[in-house]
Structure formats: structure tokens, C-alpha cells
């Protein structure tokens, strides 16, 4: 009996290893909404947040549909969300939002926009915060999709 149980055990181990090697995209069912939370800044007047809600595009290797973006700006900042577009004009980054949220406002956009890149280009989003008295990027937060 021990000999006949060995092939079944090997088959179970092989199936477990094969399942562990599957890409993360396969683990997410089609149509499942996923969320990335971003933060930039630390103090009350410079603490900015954003939430990007997205889903994987069925049949595509590296494509995501951005369903909504919620930005909350600090009292002294303007913020927006960008993605690392492989063809991006701004050092490889392009805006996902049409305009920034500024000076303590909340902005909600529902772009229903598909972003995609080659399989070897990990897609990312970042929150950019500009202070009102400067054109310099003061804070940024990056998260992988």
C-alpha cells in the first residue's frame, strides 16, 4: 500500500508546486475590483492620499482598467495620480487624472481607462504632491498594480 500511495503523493506535490508558480494575475478572478492606496507627506497640512480602483483586463498580459481615482489633497498642496506609461512624455509618467485636487479638496474621477504595457514593464501608479509656493515635487508615493 505504501508503494501505491507514492505516485499520488508525488502528483499532489507536483500540482502544488505548479500552482505556486502561476502568475498573480491568474489568482485574481476576472471582474474583481482591486485597490491601491497611496500617501504622500507626513504633517497635517501636507498629508495627501489617493485610492486607485482597477481590474485586470481579461486576456491581456499587462493591462488594467482604471475604474476610479479618489484624491484627497492637503490644505497647502495640489495632488494627482500618474502611471508609468512606457511611452510617457514626462520622464515615463503620464497623468491618470484630468486635473489635480488642491487645497484640502477631494476629487473623484471615474475614467474607465485601460492602461497597458509590455509584459516586462511592471505597471505602477504614484501620487504627486506639489506645494502651492513651489513647482517642485515635494512628496511622491509609488505602488505596483
Spans of all domains in the chain: 26-144
> Is the CB of residue 145 less than 8 Å from the CB of residue 46?
no
**How many CB atoms within 10 Å of residue 26?**
9
CATH class for the domain made up of 26-144: mainly beta
Model pTM score:
0.76
- How is residue 60 written as a grid cell? 491581456
pLDDT tens, residue order, the chain (145 aa): 444 443 443 343 333 333 333 334 445 666 789 999 999 887 767 889 999 999 999 989 899 999 999 999 988 889 999 999 998 777 889 999 999 999 999 999 999 999 999 999 999 999 999 886 666 777 888 999 9
Amino acid at each position: 500500500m505504501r508503494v501505491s500511495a507514492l505516485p499520488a503523493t508525488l502528483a499532489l506535490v507536483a500540482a502544488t508546486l505548479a500552482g505556486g508558480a502561476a502568475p498573480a494575475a491568474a489568482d485574481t478572478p476576472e471582474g474583481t475590483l482591486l485597490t491601491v492606496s497611496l500617501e504622500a507627506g507626513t504633517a497635517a497640512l501636507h498629508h495627501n492620499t489617493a485610492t486607485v480602483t482597477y481590474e485586470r483586463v481579461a486576456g491581456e498580459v499587462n493591462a488594467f482598467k482604471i475604474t476610479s481615482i479618489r484624491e484627497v489633497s492637503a490644505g497647502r498642496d495640489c495632488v494627482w495620480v500618474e502611471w508609468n506609461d512606457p511611452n510617457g512624455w514626462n520622464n515615463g509618467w503620464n497623468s491618470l487624472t484630468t486635473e489635480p485636487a488642491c487645497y484640502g479638496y477631494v476629487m473623484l474621477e471615474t475614467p474607465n481607462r485601460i492602461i497597458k504595457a509590455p509584459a516586462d514593464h511592471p505597471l505602477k501608479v504614484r501620487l504627486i504632491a506639489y506645494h502651492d509656493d513651489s513647482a517642485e515635487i515635494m512628496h511622491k508615493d509609488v505602488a505596483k498594480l
